[in-house]
Amino acid sequence: MAFRPELSWEFLSKDEIEFRTLKAIRNHVAHLKEDSHYYSQILKEIDHSEIDSPDDISKLPFTGRTDLVNNLQQFWSIPFEQVAEMVVTRGLTGLPLVFILSQGDLERLAFNGALEINAIGLTSEDRVQIHLTLDGLLIAGMSHYRGLNALGINTSRVGHIPFDKQKHYIDLLKPTVLISTPSYLKVFGQRLVESGYDLPNSSIKKIFCVGESVRNEALEINSIGKAVQELYNAQLFSVYGVTEFSVSYSECAEQNGCHSHPELIFTEIVDENGNPVPDGTVGELVGTPLGVEGVPLLRYRTGDITFKLPGTCNCGRNSDRIGPILKRKSQIIKLKDKTVYPLAITGALDELDYIEDYVLIIEGKVSFPDQATLHIVAPAARLDSITVHLREKAEVSIPILISNVATINSFRGGTRREVKIIDKRNQ
């Protein structure tokens, strides 16, 4: 698939985007009623032609993860012989869910990837290395690869391989751009520097950071972002993706929030009662992915807490922009004496350079307090200072066990290093 930038709505006027969005939402609701067994029941009394503005979508029902868990195959909306690929959600906050994609969905995914890559100004002169796994039925690496391919940019699918081989491919291929998670890049960069590699003066000039926020609520670089930036002496760009949407929100060259792609997703921010909130107000991200054939969704509640940025971006795009993910409702830990969000814990830990690796394991049963245990790779002499740091920064006191890399990776089951939170409560 060749990238066709003229199909993007991002540079249209706000009025034109709203006009096209209204048509897209009407078509989407009609599609749901006709092709989705689940929504044909839920929306049978809804007349899509009576939707008068995009804001009218707030009158339609939400979809939650529980709905998907309990009725997944009722959401599948194409015959099985039309399925081109199957992917799964990450499964860090419950059981993984299987999503089916048509050939059209794969082309939509490539278009999304091309939009995000194009927005940061990559050209055919760049050399990109993807340090993400392209197996395990995960969608992120595939999305970026397809987008780069559509743009005709030189791309190497390096994935997660032993350090010596990774270093060899940096030396051999001299990438100008890396795509990976900040946690992985931090450890990899530290090892490169320790091996004598002159990383700040390497060929790497830009880094596409996925899976974790590298900015805080003020859109400033956070602690893990600073660590990566200082190691590589490169410009960082944030990307936030949602498997259920087959779409991502990504920064442009201006780095003033992550842009939505209005032809692919309608974005809402709602409060605890499901009511829309003004731009700039923190709430839950709700998305209606447009143009999806395999598993089309309506007003899907992500459980991710963020905000829309007011005004327009200096890049000229008139698409919605969101801030970083501040916390995740589905991961909230209800301890005996208080409630805490895991991202507050991981954010505090990322400030400590002497921590090599860690994983937070959450367990619990209905009607009982949750239990959280932190397994950490760090000098044993630092245990007290880590405890004090968590108490001061995250206002939490939980058991901390000094561990090793092999043990922590065994908890992850051989999955990606960037898995910092394992939620066993719904497994």
The enclosing domain of 128 has a CATH number of 3.40.50.12780
Number of domains in the chain: 2
SS (H, E, C) 45-69: CCCHHHCCCHHHHHHCCCECHHHHH
Residue-level pLDDT at 295 = 97
Query: Residues 375, 355: contact at Cβ < 8 Å?
Result: no
Same domain as 364, residue 325 = no
Q: What Rg, from alpha-carbon coordinates, does the chain have?
A: 22
Q: Are 224 and 324 in contact (CB under 8 A)?
A: no
Boundary (domain end) residue, out of 266, 294, 329: 329
291 in the same domain as 178: yes
pTM summary value? 0.84
Is 242 in the same domain as 131?
yes
Q: Which domain holds residue 383?
A: 332-423
Q: Which residue carries 């009218």 as its tokens? A: 56
C-alpha pair distances (Å), 81 with each of 58, 71, 294, 296, 362: 34, 20, 11, 17, 39
Instruction: Identify whether 168 is part of a domain.
Output: yes
Cα–Cα distance, 42 to 279 (Å, whole number): 29
The reply to whether 5 falls in a domain is no
Which of 279, 297, 329 is the last residue before a domain boundary?
A: 329
User: What pLDDT does residue 144 have?
Assistant: 93
Return the amino acid letter for 338: K
Residues 275 and 408 in one domain: no
382 found inside a domain? yes
Does one domain contain both 240 and 100?
yes
- Can you give the length of the chain in residues? 427
Strand partners, 285: 269
- Is residue 243 domain-resident? yes
Q: Are 93 and 120 in the same domain?
A: yes
* 3-state SS class at 207: strand
- 297 with 339, same domain? no
Q: Are residues 88 and 180 in the same domain?
A: yes
| In a shared domain, residues 248 and 379 | no
> At 413, phi and psi to the nearest 5?
70, 30
Last residue of a domain, one of 329, 355, 375: 329
Tokens of 147: 């987008």
- Whether residue 32 lies inside any domain: the answer is yes
- Residue stretches of the chain with pLDDT short of 50: 92-93
**Statement to judge: residues 232 and 371 lie in one domain:** no
The encoded tokens of residue 404 equal: 């090793």
The answer as to whether 193 is a domain residue is yes
Six-digit token pair at 241? Answer: 């993706």
Neighbours of 339 (CB within 10 A): 10
Q: Are 267 and 308 in contact (CB under 8 A)?
A: yes
Rounded Cα gap, residues 283 and 301, in angstroms: 11
Q: What is the pLDDT of residue 33?
A: 96
Q: What is the pLDDT of residue 417?
A: 56
Q: Which two tokens stand for residue 195?
A: 């091996």
Q: Which amino acid is at 151?
A: L
Query: What CATH number corresponds to the domain at position 406?
Result: 3.30.300.30
Residue 252: predicted pLDDT: 96
Non-local (6+) Cβ contacts of 364 within 8 A are 334, 370, 371, 425
**Nearest partner of 345 among 381, 373, 382, judged by Cα:** 373
Same domain, 368 and 275: no
Does residue 268 sit within a domain? Answer: yes
Identify residue 380 by its one-letter amino acid code: A
User: Do residues 91 and 124 share a domain?
Assistant: yes
Distance from C-alpha of 308 to C-alpha of 257, rounded to nearest angstrom: 9
Q: Which residues pair with 276 in a beta bridge?
A: 270
Q: Per residue in 154-175, is it b (16+ CB within 10 Å) or e — as a string?
A: bbbbbebeeeeebeeebeeeeb
Task: Answer yes or no: is 1 within a domain.
Answer: no
In terms of DSSP H, where are the helices of 254-372? 342-349
CA geometry: angle 377, 334, 415, nearest 5 deg: 40
